[in-house]
Amino acid sequence: MNKLSDFRYTMDSCNHCGQCKWILPHKMHGWDFAEICPIYQHYGFDAYSGQGLLNNAKEVLNGTVSYGDGLEHLLYTCTACGACDINCKSVRDMDVLDTIYALRADCAEKGALPESVKKKGDAVTNTHNFYGLPHEERSSWLPADCGEAPDADTVLYLGCAASYQHKEIALAAIQILQKGQVPFRLLREEEWCCGSFLWRTGQTEAAKALVHRNVELLRSQGVKTIITACGECFGSFRNGYPRFEELPCEVRHISEVAVELIANGKLQLHPVSLNGPVTYHDPCMLGRQSEEYVPWDGEIKPYGLLDPPKVWRRGEHGVYDAPRAVLKAIPGLELIEMTRNNEESFCCGAQSIDEEFRAWAGAERRREAAQSNALALVTACPFCLDALDAKEESGLPCYDLSVLLASALEGGEA
Amino acid sequence: MSLSRDIYTQLEAIVGAENISDKEYILAGNRNRTPEYPFEYHTADAIIMPASTEQVRDIILICNQNDICFVTTVSGASADAYPNRGGTLLIDLKRMNQIIEINTEDCYAVIEPGVRHVQLYPELRQQGFSYAIAAVGPGGSVLSNFTSTAGENHNMYGASRANRYLLGMEYVTPEGEILRTGSLQTGSGWFCPDGPGPSIRGLLRGFYGNHGQMGVITKAAIAILPCRGPRDFTLEGHTPNHKVYQNSDSTQVYLFNCPDLDAACEAILRMGEVEIAASVTKFFYLTLAVMMTDSANAFHELWPRIRRELPIPLVVYLAPESTEELAYEEKLLFEIAEETGLVRAASDLENWFRCHMDFFMVVGMLQRVLRLGGGWMPIKLGADSVTHMFEVGKSVPEFIYKYTENGTIFDAPDNFQIAPMEYGHFAYIELLFMYDRTNPEVGKGVAEFRQASRDTDIAHHFHAETPGCLNAVTQQLGPLYMNYHLWLRKLREAFDPRNLANPILKE
């Protein structure tokens, strides 16, 4: 992981142009849904934005602002969704999100983590899952026979959310691979949290240890491919792990695999009970933040020339098309887009520590989905699913993509 | 310096606790120096976000009662949107963000200060309208586009500067009185900037927005113009390498290289005479190369080619109503091009414009120049006849080579644009230069370069200087050149005796 001081160039380069706060012109639609930064839209102060966080990072470095007066709350109310980063990079060569990550690491290093973040981090370290639940419960519920191929070099990585809170997603992913005749196996009790929460919240040492453990496990088991149905895990493997050490295998999202299986005729899809227009919410870690992180250690020469050239992660090559292709392939479904889509998706707020903000962000996204005239909202990350599911509130039903696809394999209830 | 608890509590009572803050991390969001300015901003004592004209008035009354300076901001893209002294309250108007009315019959829109280009422009375009949009990107405040800048823009060819389209306004004076101007004053609506009696639009607005403006404009009507070009486009790919195709067979973009500046001037004037095109610009060549690339490294690769092939680029956007009209405009354009010696650019370069042509989107990409490190500065920015602007352009070699050769600024001596307005009856010039802001030695050279540009203008009696620098010119030439600033100072003293509202720095 880079240190805060490594991003001095980015901090000094910010011209307060506001690109980090507003939807890019080619996605514009009208007055509503024009903001791209959830915390900026909700709180209004410029400090609550990519630009404001860069300013604060610079002042932390300079010693003119310190933690303890609310900065740490701002830092973790921000979901680190990366919209600011992508928008900034549409016109600049700056690393806004990585500066935010470095500021978080600095905050953690100085012992200023908000209590809830620290507690959750400790839970991941101690129980190997995001929820702090007993590790045995991670896989004890799984059927003994999931159609696994013991010698398969492909692993279906279920993740904490699908193992504990959304078992239907795990079962759906298993069913998709079974039906598609993809040889795979599960890690079962050997699977631990991917560590996304740790590295994204700046708990670097704990993240490093967990990443190392997982990498060693995958290496020792000869895993060549990880498939996951969790957007958070997917982004973590692709974007987070290379910050610590090389991942010894490729990572694929279940939607990417499913698209191939559908194209090859290995998955036959039938109408589901849901019929009509649906809209798709791009999870940040599956979309704009899922590009592979390529470490860069070079020199920034005058006029922005990087020596050696850097592989920029600008959200251009995130997983956007595969989930959409899956939805389009299900008979009876029509895909329509929200204003803020693809790399310009609006974060659901799931990763914020502020409950009130989290509720607002989810409601804001549901409002956008409803205005698109969709009958349902679909996403591909269980954390997004939690944030977007209206629960008791009246509103659009929200589905997980894998669950919807699995039901189309049966032609049953979505 | 900080606000007393008593004053803070009074302000908090107006807007609510969640809309005012004096916490350091909040203030830090609005005080760091940006790389193009050579000075540090002052920190505000507090930032307050009112939601209505009445709240603005109440805030200003408290400022007056307690001798507190105030500065307004929306996007923060301008240095004038930051405190220039201690003891200042920053009034952030972003919560006042409503589009109050779009009147397509009388061709105006009424907006609050917090409405951004990326919000108003699509709303208008859906109804077949547009407006003069400055190149500030999606988050720029529409209102300040009309009230606080001179308003140069790339879609003004068939129109004019943005500040000419400011209509009725609602305004809170420096001492806290709500004033309505133009037709609004007599209850006749927003459509006209001036009511009975002498016009006070210029007085309230100031010559160059924040360089003269007093008080706070809380609502303004702007004239809207028919949208040139289609209402829809097709998007392909993802940022930053997305493409936008116009859904129209009656629009087209052409990119030419001009043999010299005289030819460019002649072509622009002749296109204006026959009234073709929606936009014509003698474009910046360095800027063009940055816009066409997705990183600074990619720019450095493309730049030698642009410098060789397109030293004097001319962008012509044709957007008539029908294919027949397009054929007519193309015929005239090609005749003018042939007679003035314009040469079509290579198809890959011309196609870049065709894949991005919506001028709002194109000007949004102008910020890509910041990829070269963030050290940049536009100078000149004056406006006069097309011919005069080209004379100014031709004088650039007189002063620029010293600074490109000694490394003060990036070696792109012809990086200026001349954008005609009013079908060639008027134009403005902007010389955009880059400097290496990471080199502390360069700072002095930049100031010297700007002065050299100004000296050249003065020596030639050019009317080419940015309004923001006119004071420097008048200090050199004396009031015979212009005495506007002296009157401005007197007016401000009359309306704002304590110099609280957007205070001018003492010189």
Quickly state the pLDDT bin for B507 (edges 50, 70, 90).
very low
What is chain B's mean pLDDT, rounded?
89
Residues B352/B261, Cβ–Cβ less than 8 Å: no
Round to whole Å and give the CA distance between A92 and B299. Answer: 12
Q: Which of B34, B76, B237 has its CB closest to that of A46?
A: B76
DSSP per-residue letters across B202-214: HHHH-TTGGGT--
Closest chain A residue to B100 measured between Cα atoms? A31
Q: What is the pTM of this model?
A: 0.96
Identify which of A172, A244, A156 has the alpha carbon closest to the alpha carbon of residue A206.
A244
Q: Does domain B99-226 have CATH number 3.90.1150.10?
A: no
Return the number of other C-beta atoms located less than 10 Å from residue A141's C-beta: 12
Quickly state the pLDDT bin for B28 (edges 50, 70, 90).
very high
Q: For residue B417, which phi and psi values (nearest 5 degrees)?
A: -120, 150
For residue A19, the distance in angstroms to the closest alpha carbon of chain B comes to 6
DSSP A345: P
Q: And the tokens for B198?
A: 């002498």
For residue A395, the distance in angstroms to the closest alpha carbon of chain B comes to 26
Does residue B1 surpass a pLDDT of 70?
Answer: no
Residues A285/A381, Cβ–Cβ less than 8 Å: yes
Check whether the bond before A38 is cis (ω within 30° of 0).
Answer: no
For residue B119, the distance in angstroms to the closest alpha carbon of chain A comes to 4
**Mean pLDDT calculated for residue range B40-50:** 91
**Ranges of chain A whose pLDDT falls below 50:** none
> Are B239 and A14 in contact (CB < 8 Å)?
no
> Are A26 and B123 in contact (CB < 8 Å)?
no
The residues facing B405 across adjacent strands are none
**Mean pLDDT calculated for residue range B120-147:** 89
Residues B427/B420, Cβ–Cβ less than 8 Å: yes
Q: Which of B25, B235, B296 has its CB closest to that of A93?
A: B296
Closest chain A residue to B233 measured between Cα atoms? A26
For residue B458, the distance in angstroms to the closest alpha carbon of chain A comes to 31
Closest chain A residue to B116 measured between Cα atoms? A31
Round to whole Å and give the CA distance between B150 and B160. Answer: 11
Q: Could you tell me the CA-to-CA distances from B414 to A324, B392, B411 in Å, in that order? A: 47, 12, 9
Q: Quickly name the fold that domain B231-293+314-360 has.
A: Alpha-Beta Plaits (3.30.70)
Identify which of B470, B492, B466, B469 has the alpha carbon closest to the alpha carbon of residue B481.
B470
Residues A324/A119, Cβ–Cβ less than 8 Å: no
Residues A309/A337, Cβ–Cβ less than 8 Å: no
For residue A398, the distance in angstroms to the closest alpha carbon of chain B comes to 26
Does residue B390 surpass a pLDDT of 60?
Answer: yes
Round to whole Å and give the CA distance between B20 and B55. Answer: 12
3-state helix, strand, coil in chain B (%, to 5): 40, 20, 40
Identify which of B507, B361, B505 has the alpha carbon closest to the alpha carbon of residue B69.
B505
Q: Quickly name the fold that domain B5-92 has.
A: 3.30.43
Closest chain B residue to A318 measured between Cα atoms? B238
Domain boundaries defined on chain B: 5-92, 99-226, 231-293+314-360
Quickly state the pLDDT bin for B23 (edges 50, 70, 90).
very high
Between the two ends of chain A, the Cα-to-Cα distance in Å is 41
Identify which of A267, A214, A220 has the alpha carbon closest to the alpha carbon of residue A240.
A214
Round to whole Å and give the CA distance between B477 and B463. Answer: 13
Domain boundaries defined on chain A: 1-113, 131-253
Identify which of A178, A175, A317, A156 has the alpha carbon closest to the alpha carbon of residue A225.
A156
Round to whole Å and give the CA distance between A253 and A247. Answer: 16
Helices A254-263 & A401-410 angle (0-180, nearest 10): 30
Round to whole Å and give the CA distance between A164 and A168. Answer: 10
> Are A44 and B49 in contact (CB < 8 Å)?
yes
> Are A304 and B24 in contact (CB < 8 Å)?
no
Q: For residue B462, which phi and psi values (nearest 5 degrees)?
A: -80, 145
CA-based R_g, chain A, Å: 21
CA A140, A146, A152, A155 dihedral sign is negative
At A144 the pLDDT is 95
> Are A45 and B35 in contact (CB < 8 Å)?
no
For residue B291, the distance in angstroms to the closest alpha carbon of chain A comes to 8
**Mean pLDDT calculated for residue range B226-233:** 85
At A393 the pLDDT is 62
> Are B123 and A31 in contact (CB < 8 Å)?
yes
Residues A16/B77, Cβ–Cβ less than 8 Å: yes
Question: Which chain B residues touch A25 with a CB distance below 8 Å?
Answer: 118, 121, 138, 358, 360-361, 364
Q: Which of B35, B99, B297 has its CB closest to that of A13?
A: B35
> Are A22 and B138 in contact (CB < 8 Å)?
yes
Question: Which chain A residues touch B28 with a CB distance below 8 Å?
Answer: 47, 52, 55-56, 59, 64-65
> Are A18 and B77 in contact (CB < 8 Å)?
yes
Identify which of B19, B115, B71 has the alpha carbon closest to the alpha carbon of residue A43.
B19
- Mutation to test the B interface, candidates A45, A95, A103, A356, most B Cβ within 10 Å: A45
> Are A18 and B121 in contact (CB < 8 Å)?
no
Question: Which chain B residues touch A58 with a CB distance below 8 Å?
Answer: 32
Which residues, at least 6 apart from A222, have a Cβ–Cβ distance to it below 8 Å?
A153
At B381 the pLDDT is 87
Closest chain A residue to B50 measured between Cα atoms? A44
DSSP per-residue letters across B438-454: T-TTHHHHHHHHHHHHH
> Are B364 and A12 in contact (CB < 8 Å)?
no
**A212-248 as b/e, with b when 16 or more CB fall inside 10 Å?**
eebbeebeeeebebbbbbbbbbbbbbbbbbebbeebb
> Are B49 and A25 in contact (CB < 8 Å)?
no
Beta strands A185-186 and A154-157, pairing class: parallel
CB half-sphere exposure, A105, CA atoms < 13 A: 20
> Are B29 and A64 in contact (CB < 8 Å)?
no
Does residue B468 surpass a pLDDT of 70?
Answer: no
CB half-sphere exposure, A330, CA atoms < 13 A: 33
> Are B295 and A318 in contact (CB < 8 Å)?
no
> Are A303 and B372 in contact (CB < 8 Å)?
yes
Quickly state the pLDDT bin for B304 (edges 50, 70, 90).
very high
For residue A34, the distance in angstroms to the closest alpha carbon of chain B comes to 6
Least confident of B24-33, B64-73, B304-313, B394-403: B24-33
Helices B442-460 & B470-477 angle (0-180, nearest 10): 60
Does residue B227 surpass a pLDDT of 90?
Answer: no
Identify which of B289, B168, B232 has the alpha carbon closest to the alpha carbon of residue A26.
B232
Q: Which of A9, A25, A47 has its CB closest to that of B361?
A: A25
Round to whole Å and give the CA distance between B142 and A173. Answer: 49
Round to whole Å and give the CA distance between B246 and B278. Answer: 14
Identify which of B293, B238, B243 has the alpha carbon closest to the alpha carbon of residue A313.
B238
- Judged by DSSP in three states, B102 sits in strand
What CATH code would you report for A131-253? 3.40.50
Does residue B506 surpass a pLDDT of 60?
Answer: no
At B476 the pLDDT is 74
> Are B438 and A300 in contact (CB < 8 Å)?
yes
Round to whole Å and give the CA distance between A85 and A50. Answer: 7
Which residues, at least 6 apart from B447, have a Cβ–Cβ distance to it below 8 Å?
B38
> Are B120 and A31 in contact (CB < 8 Å)?
yes
> Are B370 and A92 in contact (CB < 8 Å)?
yes
Quickly state the pLDDT bin for B38 (edges 50, 70, 90).
low
Question: Which chain B residues touch A306 with a CB distance below 8 Å?
Answer: 295-297
Least confident of A117-126, B239-248, B290-299, B394-403: B239-248
Q: For residue A30, which phi and psi values (nearest 5 degrees)?
A: 170, -165
The 3-state secondary structure of A150-183, one letter per residue: CCCCEEEECHHHHHHHCHHHHHHHHHHHHHCCCC
Torsion from C-alpha of B17, B20, B26, B31, nearest 10 degrees? 180
Question: Which chain A residues touch B34 with a CB distance below 8 Å?
Answer: 14-16
Q: Which of B25, B237, B365 has its CB closest to that of A47?
A: B25
At position B311, the amino acid (one-letter code) is: P
Q: And the tokens for B81?
A: 């949107």
**Mean pLDDT calculated for residue range B140-159:** 80
Q: Which of B19, B34, B297 has its CB closest to that of A306?
A: B297
Cβ contacts from A onto B, under 8 A: 211
Q: Could you tell me the CA-to-CA distances from B378 to B36, B110, B213, B359 in Å, in that order? A: 10, 30, 22, 20
- Report the share of chain B in percent with pLDDT over 70: 93
Beta strands B108-111 and B216-223, pairing class: antiparallel
At A411 the pLDDT is 65
Residues B380/B416, Cβ–Cβ less than 8 Å: yes
